[in-house]
Amino acid sequence: MQRHIAIVEDEATIRHNYEDALRRYGYQVTGYGDKSSAMAALTRRLPDLVIIDVGLGDEVEGGFELCRELRSMSRGLPIIFLTARDSDLDVISGLRLGADDYLTKDISLQHLVARVVAAIQCHFRPTYRQSLLHKKIAISSQCVRDTLITDDVQNNAIRNLQSSLLTRLLYGADQLSRQSFLE
């Protein structure tokens, strides 16, 4: 599946360079020249990753505001700042607002693409439970017990405990607590 990246950059030449570079790596890319056009489009459909410049035209902090608005829409959307502003205060502000990365524009295109790939892989890496569901693995508690319990009487108590833990992790991890497990 082709991942969609939105780039919010007010300087058209720079935006087109980034768009072209990311398209060469197989991404679907949409560019926006200002915060308002980006918000209008992104409220309809969120991309897989957003790259934002901090200063957007007359809005000196427009990128920070956009990040705040996007973060309120989605806690998991990967956001990367790509900007000329490199003060510690700006970097810390961007990261505190919820950006996943903060890069300066002197970065090479290869480095930018590597950071984009890393952010997307990190965000879309399935959890263990999701990978089990994706592979359509079904484990019945009887199957777990049959596999873990042998004729060794001494280890049956431990294997019953393992079986119970595995079953609870697979089918009710959101309900697992120390107290419920000890019961």
- C-alpha 137, offset from chain centre: 25
Instruction: Report, as an integer, the average pLDDT of 119-137.
Output: 59
Provide the 8-state DSSP code for 127.
P
How many whole angstroms separate alpha carbon 7 and alpha carbon 74?
17
How many whole angstroms separate alpha carbon 67 and alpha carbon 80?
9
- Higher pLDDT: 113 or 160? It is 113
pTM: 0.69
Tokens read off for 65: 């505001």
What is the model's pLDDT at position 125? 66
The percentage of residues in the chain with a pLDDT greater than 70, rounded to a whole number, is 67
Give the model confidence (pLDDT) of 138-168 as tens digits: 444 344 433 443 444 444 444 555 555 555 5
How many whole angstroms separate alpha carbon 57 and alpha carbon 158?
65
Q: Domain boundaries in the chain?
A: 4-125, 130-182
Distance, first Cα to last Cα, the chain? 45
Q: Which CATH number fits domain 4-125: 3.40.630.10, 1.10.10.10, 3.40.50.2300, 3.40.50.300?
A: 3.40.50.2300
What is the model's pLDDT at position 30? 97
Helix (H) or strand (E) holding 106: none
Give the model confidence (pLDDT) of 53-103 as tens digits: 999 988 999 999 999 999 999 988 999 999 999 999 999 999 999 999 999
